[in-house]
Structure 1
Amino acid sequence: MTATLSPPGLSPAETNRRPLTLLATVAGLSAAASTLAVCLGLALLGWFLADGGIHGAPRDALRAGGLGWLMGHGSGVTVQGVAITAVPLGLTLLFGVVVWRFGLRLGEQVAGHGPDADALSDGDRDWTVPAATGLFAATYVVVAVFTAVLCGTGDLSPDLNAVMLWSLALTCGVGGTGVAIGSGRASIWLSLAPPAVRASLHAAWSVVLAFLVAAAGVFVVALALDFGAAMNVMSQLHLDTGDGLMFVVLVLTVVPNAVIFSGAYLLGPGFLVGTGTLVSPSLVAIGPVPMFPLLAALPDTGPTPAWTPALIVLPVLCAAAGVVRSHRHSPTAAWDEGALRGVVGGVLAGLLFGLLAAVAGGAVGPGRMTDVGPLVSEVLWHGIVSLGAGGLLGGLLATWWTRRSLPEEAPTVDS
């Protein structure tokens, strides 16, 4: 363990030269302002591409860009009494990446603050990460609230409470983790945890990634099989070049939502595309849907092919593959430990995907479109069971392979 927590190339005196309050405040402001500026710029660009700026005013485009930024933070919006609560997770993912990078950089900058690693090992209290994360989050939330107040009008009103909650979750969860890792505290804290706990967390992350990759693959294949229908939808919208480009950007912001819908389908419960509808491997019952290109990936209404229920095996195989891949990071030859790592990793992955399913849906319009998204409670339960079972299988397979690879003991020779 090193004696200091300074980032490479900087001495503790250099990292302590700037106060933590200033560093964290600037980082939070930069993280919020950078993505907000991108959304505002895209909105202005779309306004000029659409009609050369003939209709409306720049402030209208800026308000639309601000509302888009807020919707990526879970604000939703009420348009003339109609609530739109679905979150474009593509924007949220972008914001998460930016917050992570700024949090990581902030952690490197405050690494020399507080006690050094030896003092931490002796039990000294260290408030560096909580203080930096708190100031980082507070500044980010202030920008979000200020944006919501400016963008809200009589006809368009974002949910201020949701904006604050999502901003806090993003900055404290993602940004705070970046601060802890960048400052070196995370490695110290994790070293105090039992190896089985670290291995289980690594397995859970590996399982989630494997399952999301599989869900994305299934979605891409389904969309490719009906790509002509998606292009037909685009042609019927009669969009010019500028409008078409902005519409493509809008479509891309909800691709992560579609991937999570695909994962809910693979787990068995499926998802809704309107009140009274269902899309699952065993039953498809949908009515008229909005003209949106990604909806071309939906299967036809009616009985499903005999092979589609077999798709529910795919999550089990993904979990097994994820645990086997994670096992290479910290192999074990103990059957009980290998099985426990796999089960815990799979169950945690199921819980995490259930959380993703909970935020992937929402209302996208009036009438029957007020209920669109995965069946959250069923997806959560099926995710825990399927990914947990796959994790157990993967843990046992990985342990067997490790034991098989161990060198055989040389036979003893009697004298």
Structure 2
Amino acid sequence: MTQLMGRPILEAPGELGGRPALADLLTGVRTALVGLAVVGVPVLGLWVVTPSVDDGPAAATRLAGVLWLIGHGAPVLRGEADAPLTVTPLLLGALAVVRLHRAGAGVVARRGLRSRWGGPVALWAGYCAVAVAVALHCAGAGPFRSEVLPDILVVALVAALATAAGVRSAEAAGRPLADSLLDRLPPPYRPVGGAAPVRAAALAAGAGLVAAGGLLVAVSAVLDAATGGGRGMALLGRGPAALPALLLLALVLLPNAVLWGAAYALGPGFVVGAGSVVSPGGAALGPVPEFPLFALLPADGPGGWRWAALVLPLLAGVVPAVLLGRAAAGRRGPAAAAGGAGGRPVPWPPAATVTAALAAALLVGVGAALLGRLSGGGLAGGRMAWLGPVPWRAGLAAAGWLALVAVPGALLVRHRVLGAEGERGSAPVGDRSAYARLAWWTRRGALRLRARAHALVLRLSEAGRGALGPDPVD
């Protein structure tokens, strides 16, 4: 009895003695409740400070639950017409995925016995239990309502994928799929070091495109404020809670806006309803919902100076080209660690450099298409059934831009690095292409010929000075 009373009711997850499954179940519940609190606390705070509010606290909690479900990509219904609302606030979605990923990795990393129903399965079950309660609570009357079964299925799928990713990262089992595919290529087309340089280049290109989208959003906001339009501020409602509410909503949708800006920089742009287009070539907009982020859209008409946005994808491809070129020359990353004879780095053949650049472009294209799909959605039926980038267009544009810059850029950087090493007298060990060997021997012969010519000129000048005698002295 003394031991039972001295033992805390809830210990750290994974330390509940013979009940590890219960600990993992509670970890899933806690992960979901923390995410729900991140959404619910601001909503309840705004409900408290809103004057003359007609709805009770149950309406505020339903709104918080709906936002939590939307953050997972779950569809909800809006208004009396049951219009579908499928735009996912990516900031809320990222928070949910990160917490589930960390929870899944933590469950695997903790030591101790696990029963058949413990571990990630119990974690997932606890998270889904909260999702069921939230979906049922939000199914009542109100401006936003949940679709119980689809919402539960979507949340369960997201929780399963994020938890599985966390478990895999903790176990570090198996090889990435890209490594296996590249290892099956013939030696002239196989990059040294596997897919690590390819992934690094793809991440650098993705970061560059995201930075380009953020830059366009910032420039649009500055221009809207500088031109005196003030369209964003004109949309603010009345009351002390209007400004914080719109600012919070704009904040959670800011990653969506940045991805839309990246699609704009790539060229295809995005749509704001059927029959509309927003791209560097011009904008054709119809009626647009009143929201501060929509106030940053360009006015209708041809692109004009907005064509300059197409320079941003070119700049975003420079860093991946440099990374791949230096890796191909054996100067950075796993390629530098893989040595040939004497432990010296092994450069890639030109064909392998092209293969790596095209593989990075393919990864970026797939990522752009996936993020374009996640950042878009519908605000209603009919004309507003889809807003955001068209996924396949954004993916093709991203892959095309990166391939256009990275393929020649990586070859050029590789050639320059190997040429500099050749001038210092180091042959490109391991590069078996006939073109590389011929270029190296040509450079070496030219250097020797230049040195002999210079020595001959010095000898002739000395002989000429000797034949003329000593210089006259005043």
- Residue in structure 2 matching 1:321, options 316, 319, 324: 319
Which residue of 2 is the match for residue 352 of structure 1?
Answer: 367
In structure 2, give the amino acid aligned to 1:97.
Answer: V
**Aligned in 2, Cα 1:221/1:16: closer, same or farther, shift over 3 Å?**
same
Shift of 1:263: 1.4
Q: Does 1:182 align with 2:163?
A: no
Which residue of 2 is the match for residue 7 of structure 1?
Answer: none
Shift of 1:15: 9.0
Check the 8 A contact 2:236/2:242 in 1, yes or no.
no
> Residue deviations 1:2-27, cap 9 Å, x none?
xxxxxxxxxxxx99977663454333
Q: Provide the aligned C-alpha RMSD in A.
A: 3.4
Which ranges of structure 2 fall in alignment gaps of 5 or more residues? 1-13, 184-192, 337-346, 428-443, 445-474
Which residue of 2 is the match for residue 85 of structure 1?
Answer: 86
State the SS of the aligned residue for 1:51: coil
Check the 8 A contact 1:230/1:296 in 2, yes or no.
no
Which residue of 2 is the match for residue 149 of structure 1?
Answer: 136
Shift of 1:303: 1.3
**Aligned in 2, Cα 1:241/1:91: closer, same or farther, shift over 3 Å?**
same
Shift of 1:325: 4.3
Q: How many residues are treated as equivalent by the alignment?
A: 382
Which residue of 2 is the match for residue 263 of structure 1?
Answer: 262
- Between the two structures, name the one with larger relative contact order (CA 8 Å, sep ≥ 6): 1
Residues of 2 paired with 1:55 and 1:69: CA distance?
Answer: 23
TM-score, reference length from structure 1: 0.80
- Residue in structure 2 matching 1:408, options 414, 425, 429: 425
Check the 8 A contact 1:231/1:293 in 2, yes or no.
no
Residues of 2 paired with 1:396 and 1:165: CA distance?
Answer: 47
State the SS of the aligned residue for 1:83: strand
**Aligned in 2, Cα 1:256/1:282: closer, same or farther, shift over 3 Å?**
same
Residues of 1 paired with 2:253 and 2:129: CA distance?
Answer: 26
Residues of 2 paired with 1:102 and 1:262: CA distance?
Answer: 32
Which residue of 2 is the match for residue 65 of structure 1?
Answer: 64
After TM superposition, the structure 1 = structure 2 runs for residues 70-219 of structure 1, keeping only pairs within 5 Å, are 70-79=69-78, 80=80, 81-110=82-111, 132-154=119-141, 156-183=144-171, 185-186=172-173, 189=175, 195-219=193-217
Residues of 2 paired with 1:405 and 1:162: CA distance?
Answer: 60
Shift of 1:83: 1.6
Check the 8 A contact 1:87/1:359 in 2, yes or no.
yes
**Aligned in 2, Cα 1:170/1:199: closer, same or farther, shift over 3 Å?**
farther
**Aligned in 2, Cα 1:196/1:259: closer, same or farther, shift over 3 Å?**
same
Check the 8 A contact 1:320/1:393 in 2, yes or no.
no
Check the 8 A contact 1:133/1:171 in 2, yes or no.
no
Check the 8 A contact 1:50/1:242 in 2, yes or no.
yes
Shift of 1:68: 0.7
Shift of 1:255: 0.8
Residues of 2 paired with 1:285 and 1:354: CA distance?
Answer: 23
In structure 2, give the amino acid aligned to 1:337.
Answer: A
Residues of 2 paired with 1:249 and 1:347: CA distance?
Answer: 35
TM-score, reference length from structure 2: 0.71
Residues of 1 paired with 2:323 and 2:274: CA distance?
Answer: 40
Q: Percent identity?
A: 27
Shift of 1:405: 5.9
Which ranges of structure 1 fall in alignment gaps of 5 or more residues? 1-13, 115-126
Which residue of 1 is the match for residue 401 of structure 2?
Answer: 386
After TM superposition, the structure 1 = structure 2 runs for residues 22-37 of structure 1, keeping only pairs within 5 Å, are 22-37=22-37
Check the 8 A contact 1:148/1:158 in 2, yes or no.
yes
